[in-house]
C-alpha cells in the first residue's frame, strides 16, 4: 500500500484544477450601466466606478499571467516520475498565492466601489443583484 505522501500530488492537482475562476469583471460594470438610473448613480460616480473597474482589470491581467505561469510550473513538476514532495508543495503554494492575489483584486474592487456609492445605493444594488442573480445563468424555476 502506498503511503499518504504518494497521494499528495493527486490531491494538489484536484485542488488546483477545481478552483473557480473569477467572474467576468466587466459584467458588474455592465450591470451598473444598465441600472444607473434605477440606482440613482450620477455620471461622476459612474466615471469613478469605471476607473476602479479598469484599473482592477489591468491588475487582474498581470496577476492572471502570474497564475498561469505558476500553474504551468506546477503541472511540469507533477509530470515528473517521482516529484519531490518539497518541490510539489512549493509549486502548489505559488499557485495558491497567485489565486489569492487575484481574488484580492476582486475584493478590493468591490470595497472601492462601495466607497463611491451611498448607503442607500449600496442597499438597492444588493437588492437588484439578489433579484437578478438567478437569471444570469438560467431562467428562474417555476414554483409548483
What is the per-residue DSSP string for 5-53?
GGGHHHHHHHHHHHSPPPPPHHHHHHHHHHTTTTTT--HHHHHHHHHHH
Is the per-residue pLDDT at 77 higher than 50? Answer: yes
Neighbours of 116 (CB within 10 A): 18
How far is the first Cα of the chain from the last one, in angstroms, to the nearest whole number? Answer: 52
User: Which cell numbers in the block locate residue 35?
Assistant: 441600472
Cβ–Cβ < 8 Å for 73, 88:
no
Is the per-residue pLDDT at 138 higher than 50? Answer: no
Give the residue among 119, 105, 93, 128 at the shortest CA–CA distance from 52. Answer: 105
pLDDT score, position 44: 97
pLDDT, tens digit, 9 for 90 and up, residues 13-38: 555 444 444 444 457 789 999 999 99
The DSSP H or E segment spanning 142 is none
User: Which cell numbers in the block locate residue 128?
Assistant: 437588484
DSSP symbol at 118: -
Give the start-to-end residue ranges of the domains of the chain: 24-129
User: Which cell numbers in the block locate residue 2?
Assistant: 502506498
Is the per-residue pLDDT at 79 higher than 50? Answer: yes
The average confidence (pLDDT) of the chain is 83
Amino acid at each position: 500500500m502506498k503511503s499518504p505522501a504518494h497521494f499528495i500530488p493527486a490531491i494538489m492537482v484536484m485542488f488546483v484544477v477545481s478552483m473557480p475562476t473569477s467572474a467576468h469583471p466587466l459584467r458588474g460594470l455592465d450591470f451598473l450601466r444598465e441600472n444607473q438610473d434605477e440606482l440613482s448613480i450620477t455620471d461622476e460616480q459612474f466615471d469613478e466606478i469605471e476607473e476602479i473597474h479598469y484599473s482592477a482589470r489591468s491588475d487582474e491581467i498581470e496577476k492572471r499571467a502570474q497564475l498561469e505561469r505558476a500553474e504551468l510550473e506546477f503541472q511540469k513538476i507533477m509530470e515528473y516520475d517521482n516529484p519531490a514532495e518539497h518541490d510539489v508543495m512549493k509549486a502548489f503554494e505559488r499557485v495558491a498565492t497567485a489565486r489569492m492575489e487575484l481574488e484580492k483584486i476582486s475584493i478590493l474592487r468591490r470595497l472601492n466601489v462601495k466607497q463611491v456609492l451611498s448607503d442607500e445605493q449600496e442597499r438597492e444594488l444588493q437588492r437588484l443583484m439578489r433579484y437578478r442573480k438567478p437569471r444570469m445563468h438560467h431562467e428562474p424555476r417555476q414554483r409548483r
